[in-house]
Structure 1
Amino acid sequence: MAGITNAAYRRLCLEQATADGGSSLFVCEMITSRGLVEGDATTRSMLVFDEREKIRSVQLYGTDPAYVGKATEILCADYGVSHVDLNFGCPVPKVTRKGGGAALPWKRNLLGEILRAAVGAASRYDVPVTMKTRMGIDPEHLTYLDAGRIAEESGVAAIALHGRTAIQGYSGVADWDAIARLVEHVSIPVLGNGDIWEAGDAIRMVEQTGAAGVVVGRGCLGRPWLFRDLAAAFARREGGEPFAAPTLPSLGEVSTTMRRHAELLCRHMGGEERGCKEFRKHVSWYLKGFRAGGELRHALALVSTLAELDGLLAELDPDERFPEVVLGEPRGRQGAPRKRVVLPEGWLDDTDGRGVVLREDADETTGG
């Protein structure tokens, strides 16, 4: 979710989630440990938080225990972070070819060294460390059960599992049965990730797998109100009430949310030009399935001021109903399965990884 979950979008999602008294944890865009330790300007600029974020949460990427430990300390001491999440789920070739992301848990000892370094640094500030991972590299090289055991032994507070392998990328269907197996395998909380498109999906995942909660990624693209729906659905479940499908927003309500999103981006990015430019990529997600014509969509995707945005949003039909046909559909990137996962030479020869030193770019950004 690089380039998506900045302070502005987290504030927007937080407003939705807490509108009726609900709560959720929103994680900052992923940063690299080396970038933070070496003072990379881009990395530091991503560590911006909204005043309403009482819990500052950051996802950290790293392949070197020393860098990860030091970065965790900086986050806790200098940025007041109260939760650190370590990402071992990215399937992008530029990351896995260096042994990072979803490739790293194959080296069990290296994974343990990184986790212990982060937990050790965070524990001095009473900050919990969690981790996110995938099922493994491919069906023949699964890592999630061992990763769960190592996480538990290292003092990790919880583990999130994306029910896909690296070779799947974002294609196909997430394997929720794997999440259930991990729940049975460890005593720490397991969070399920993968194919949460609607609030009903989250309830089904928890009931089907026994997961302690869910992690939402692509499902919230252009739909920050998903967190309002999730909060309501889990509140009903905790109260013993049956699930009730949420009320869908009209196009008028969607346009109001779009305007609020753009306003927050302008505020957090220091001006309308940059904020509106950043907003453009969200337009197609917000309007997915609606009847807005191509000319209007194109104009919205080139908006440069809030006044211009207001004029264009006024052309939308506020009474148009939400297109139910898109409910449950994947959002964001999907693609086809990869032919192979790009790995360092000899990476699969053993599962040790003790003493392995991997190259981590200071400005690397990934997803999981």
Structure 2
Amino acid sequence: MTELRLGRYTVDPPVVLAPMAGITNVGFRQLCREQGGGIYVCEMVTTIAIAHRNPKTDRMIAFAPDENPRSLQLFGVDPEITAKAVRRIVDENLADHIDLNFGCPVPKVTRKGGGSAIPWKRKLFGAIVAAAVDTAKPAGIPVTVKMRKGIDDDHLTYVEAGLIAQEVGATWVALHARTAAERYSGTADWDAIGTLKQALDIPVLGNGDIWEADDALRMVAETGCDGVVVGRGCLGRPWLFADLEAAFAGRPERVMPNLGQVAVIMRRHAEFLSLAMTEKFGVVDFRKHVAWYLKGFPVGSELRRSMAMASSMMELDDLLGKLDGEVPFPVSELGQPRGRTNSPGKVFLPAGWLDDRDDMCVPEGAEMDDSGG
């Protein structure tokens, strides 16, 4: 593999933590960065919220003092607002890397023409990417693109969108190898990643179904992609980034912590969240991670439920102390999907969205002032 670059940064290993709403906050990123190198992206935020200085969004884009580079993902539908948001990022030195989201399949996003709906409107898509690139370029801030294959199998856009992004100056393109209609169901189409790699001169990163480090190596071998983007695979398993670092370095070791070691990581996660928020909000935010950490371990339902309702570090410490630390890692979980899985579904789009691919009109009310959804 050739060395993966992000502006002035070398990305080694060539691994990116995918932005996940409600997950990839500063506490979770700190936890994962302790495990291995790569690029760790904050939760998706909206361009209008950045441009208008939304207080909630400004809290979401907080970075740890030692985060370098600071990676921020933007979602927007209007090229002018995208430029305003990036101008603020540049002027106030808010980030070192900007990723643009064109992959979100959530109905509240696509029904307004956002996320994975945008690449169908090829001129609008190109204008949004160009607005970000042109505004960020003088400051040396690289802009990357994350997208899906298309709206559905009858409306695939990934090759054309990749070429457009390349033409207007995107540093790399990451492809989640599913359509919006597939959501998080079935198996990712890694062949599409290979097709995109063959079509582009800029780096292509692959995303989808990387549950273990060896999956990442296999994706690179099968598709020729320049790096990988990891999302659901690291939920409750931040040590996956240690495995990925070892794998890309050609080392065989893999982390398989026993339950006692997992408990130590769980506590550290809750502690990072508490430091970034307050103890109460940090422990409450941690609750959603309990099931992911304990997946496959023989832990009783009552103890699991109590942990998922903890509201203080003292309470969490008491519950973690009740775990049998000698229980080995459940190897049966290796390679198994994590996080949300669902069935294919209808993609909700603005009226007439599919009629004219060259229409650049921004749907009324398309810009959302709340981030992270």
| TM-score band, normalised by shorter chain | over 0.9
- Is residue 11–residue 52 contact of structure 1 (8 Å, CA) maintained in 2? no
* Aligned mates of 1:247, 1:85 — CA distance in 2: 30
Q: Which residue of 2 aligns with 1:5?
A: 24
* Aligned mates of 2:303, 2:332 — CA distance in 1: 21
* Aligned mates of 1:337, 1:27 — CA distance in 2: 27
- Is residue 187–residue 209 contact of structure 2 (8 Å, CA) maintained in 1? yes
Cα distance, 1:355 vs. partner? 4.0
1:317 equivalent among 315, 324, 327: 324
Q: Which residue of 2 aligns with 1:194?
A: 208
Whether 1:48 and 2:62 are equivalent positions in the alignment is: yes
Q: Which residue of 2 aligns with 1:139?
A: 153
Q: Which residue of 2 aligns with 1:293?
A: 300
Q: Which residue of 2 aligns with 1:112?
A: 126
Whether 1:284 and 2:291 are equivalent positions in the alignment is: yes
- Is residue 27–residue 272 contact of structure 2 (8 Å, CA) maintained in 1? yes
* Aligned mates of 1:116, 1:221 — CA distance in 2: 33
Q: Which residue of 1 aligns with 2:181?
A: 167
Whether 1:14 and 2:20 are equivalent positions in the alignment is: no
Q: 5+ residue gaps in structure 2?
A: 1-19
Q: Which residue of 2 aligns with 1:248?
A: 256
Corresponding residue pairs, total: 353
Q: Helix, strand or coil for the counterpart of 1:349? A: coil
**CA deviation profile, 1:91-116 (whole Å, cap 9, x unmatched):** 11111111111010000000110011
Q: Which residue of 2 aligns with 1:333?
A: 340
Q: Helix, strand or coil for the counterpart of 1:142? A: coil
2:312 equivalent among 274, 296, 305: 305
Whether 1:347 and 2:353 are equivalent positions in the alignment is: yes
Cα distance, 1:354 vs. partner? 2.6
Q: How does 1:125-274 map to 2 (within 5 A)?
A: 125-236=139-250, 244=252, 246-269=254-277, 271-274=278-281
- Is residue 8–residue 268 contact of structure 1 (8 Å, CA) maintained in 2? yes
Structure 1 segments, 4+ long, off by >6 Å, are none
Q: Which residue of 2 aligns with 1:38?
A: 52
Q: Helix, strand or coil for the counterpart of 1:85? A: strand
Identical amino acids, percent of aligned pairs: 54
Q: Helix, strand or coil for the counterpart of 2:140? A: coil
CA RMSD of aligned residues (A): 1.1
1:86 equivalent among 69, 88, 100: 100
Cα distance, 1:182 vs. partner? 0.1
Q: Helix, strand or coil for the counterpart of 1:365? A: coil
Q: How does 1:66-77 map to 2 (within 5 A)?
A: 66-77=80-91
- Is residue 163–residue 199 contact of structure 2 (8 Å, CA) maintained in 1? yes
- Is residue 276–residue 303 contact of structure 1 (8 Å, CA) maintained in 2? yes
* Aligned mates of 1:353, 1:208 — CA distance in 2: 37
- Is residue 350–residue 363 contact of structure 2 (8 Å, CA) maintained in 1? no
- Is residue 103–residue 176 contact of structure 2 (8 Å, CA) maintained in 1? yes
* Aligned mates of 1:277, 1:364 — CA distance in 2: 20
Closer/same/farther in 2, CA of residues 314 and 7 from structure 1, 3 Å limit: same
* Aligned mates of 1:267, 1:261 — CA distance in 2: 10
Q: 5+ residue gaps in structure 1?
A: 18-22, 237-242
Q: Helix, strand or coil for the counterpart of 1:166? A: coil
- Is residue 251–residue 318 contact of structure 1 (8 Å, CA) maintained in 2? yes
